[in-house]
Amino acid sequence: MPESIDQPDWRRLLSQSIVTIGQLCGRMPVSGDAIEPVIERYPMRINPYFFSLVQTAGDPIARQVIPDPAELEESGLTAADPSNEYVQSPVPHLVHRYPDRVLFLVASQCAVYCRHCMRKRAVGPKTTISRDHIDQGIDYIRTTPTVKEVLLSGGDPLLIDDDKLESILSRLREIDHVELLRIHTRIPCALPRRITGHLVRVLAKFHPLYINIQFNHPAELTPEARAACALLADAGIPLGSQTVLLKGVNDRPEVMMELMRKLLASRVRPYYLHHPDPVKGTAHFRVPVEKGLAIMAHLRGNLSGIGIPYYMIDLPEGGGKIPLLPDYVIRRDPESLVVRNYAGNCFTYPL
Ligand SMILES: *Cc1c(COP(=O)(O)O)cnc(C)c1O
Ligand code: SF4
């Protein structure tokens, strides 16, 4: 992968991102006046790679990254933090909800700022995560032996420089009770050139290390994105996907099916399909749960079992995530289950 001497290629690409109204208006048919207040509240960043995937205004790629005046509408969604991440933070930027694992928010910047982001209150250049915060997080993990797994998230952890990322990972690896490391990222999808040979060699020092990638639409699986996934998979890193169910992006069964097929072909195992969280500023992406369940019912039976993610809702008040299933069980009697199969046919299953 070509990298110039002064700065790696991906940094240059990132520095050419669309971040101001002026840069956007020249390229997309949008109203600067309507969008200005949106980006004052929630930052915009669309790097040239991801922007090149946009074909028309309002298409599934554009919807994810082009600011929309709907983000400021009063919608009844007033919570910036509906799943109570702040409340479950023993130290800043670390969420300890489940006994065995913590979510460690080590970065606040991303390769694109997704309009549907569940942490849109906290991503962007205005949030800084200091060295001191990282130290506090690592100290908490070191002194909390129930923590077996650390999930690095953000923001996007893979936007951190290789050296700094290596330092964080190696300090976590030195802790005996930390068995697993996991990174949640959008980089292979949003800025695949960031997946350099050097980065992959750094990551591969810290096995077992898992990476979950957010992919939301089949058009995101370009040859570049697939090559980035291949580099990671070849280094022995198990890859999973996290897809957010989004109105106007992937809320049709055929689109979701194509996405899951392309993920499988790229060695990315579909992991979660997230029902969108009721986060302030994202009401225009919301889809009824029935629609998500219908998509799941369509996948089952039409797609390899290893291509079927769990459909998850994140409960309020920090209750955690639970999977939802289509109603396969119609009735439960003392001696039998009456069930429906993927094709809608009924069966009695003796107990
Ligand atoms: C989603 C989440 C996790 C990880 O959950 P998994 O089901 O293991 O993927 C961990 N901590 C918090 C706070 C989360 O929101
Ligand atoms: S990459 Fe992730 S954290 Fe960053 S804006 Fe998108 S959804 Fe939010």
| 141: CB partners within 8 A, 6+ apart | 94, 102, 104, 147, 150, 172, 175, 178
280 and 322 Cβ atoms separated by less than 8 Å: no
Which residues form the domain of 136? 74-325
Q: Strand (E) positions, 26-67?
A: none
44 lies in a domain? no
15 lies in a domain? no
345 lies in a domain? no
Burial class (CB in 10 A: 0-12, 13-18, 19+), 14: buried
DSSP letter at 8 equals: -
Q: Checking phi first, is residue 348 left (phi over 0); if not, alpha (psi -120 to 50) or beta?
A: beta
pLDDT classification of 4: cutoffs 50, 70, 90: very low
State the CB neighbour count (10 A cutoff) for residue 349: 9
Structure tokens, 169: 């990972």
Mean pLDDT of 143-171: 97
Total domains in the chain come to: 1
Instruction: Kindly identify the ligand whose nearest atom is closest to the C-alpha of 104.
Output: 1
Span 164-203, pLDDT tens digits: 999 999 999 999 999 999 999 999 999 999 999 999 999 9
| Closest by Cα among 88, 86, 41 to 68 | 41
Span 245-285, pLDDT tens digits: 999 999 999 999 999 999 999 999 999 999 999 999 999 99
Catalytic-residue membership of 269:
no
- Pairing outcome for strands 180-185 and 94-98: unpaired
- Pairing outcome for strands 329-332 and 336-340: antiparallel
229 lies in a domain? yes
Residue nearest to atom 3 of ligand 2 (CA): 155
Q: What is the pLDDT of residue 6?
A: 54
Residue nearest to atom 5 of ligand 1 (CA): 321
Q: What is the pLDDT of residue 5?
A: 53
* SS3 category, 101: strand
Residue nearest to atom 7 of ligand 1 (CA): 321
147 lies in a domain? yes
Span 32-72, pLDDT tens digits: 999 999 999 999 999 999 999 999 999 999 999 999 999 99
Q: Report which ligand 1 atom has the smallest distance to the Cα of 212.
A: 9
Structure tokens, 23: 């840069």
Catalytic-residue membership of 346:
no
Q: Strand (E) positions, 245-345?
A: 268-274, 310-315, 320-324, 329-332, 336-340
Best residue among 97, 183, 211, 213 to mutate for probing ligand 1, ranked by most atoms within 8 Å of CB: 97
- Pairing outcome for strands 209-214 and 320-324: unpaired
Mean pLDDT of 126-142: 95
Residue nearest to atom 1 of ligand 1 (CA): 321
∠75-79-81 over CA atoms, to 5°? 140
Q: Report which ligand 1 atom has the smallest distance to the Cα of 96.
A: 13
Instruction: Kindly identify the ligand whose nearest atom is closest to the C-alpha of 153.
Output: 2
Q: Report which ligand 1 atom has the smallest distance to the Cα of 314.
A: 15
CATH number at residue 244: 3.20.20.70
| Closest by Cα among 271, 316, 329 to 85 | 316
Structure tokens, 178: 């930390």
CA of 25 to the centre of ligand 1 (A): 38
- Pairwise CA distance, residues 51 & 53, whole Å: 5
DSSP letter at 300 equals: B
246 lies in a domain? yes
Q: What is the pLDDT of residue 3?
A: 47
26 lies in a domain? no
Cα–chain-centroid distance for residue 53? Answer: 18
234 and 282 Cβ atoms separated by less than 8 Å: no
| Closest by Cα among 118, 71, 99, 51 to 272 | 118
39 lies in a domain? no
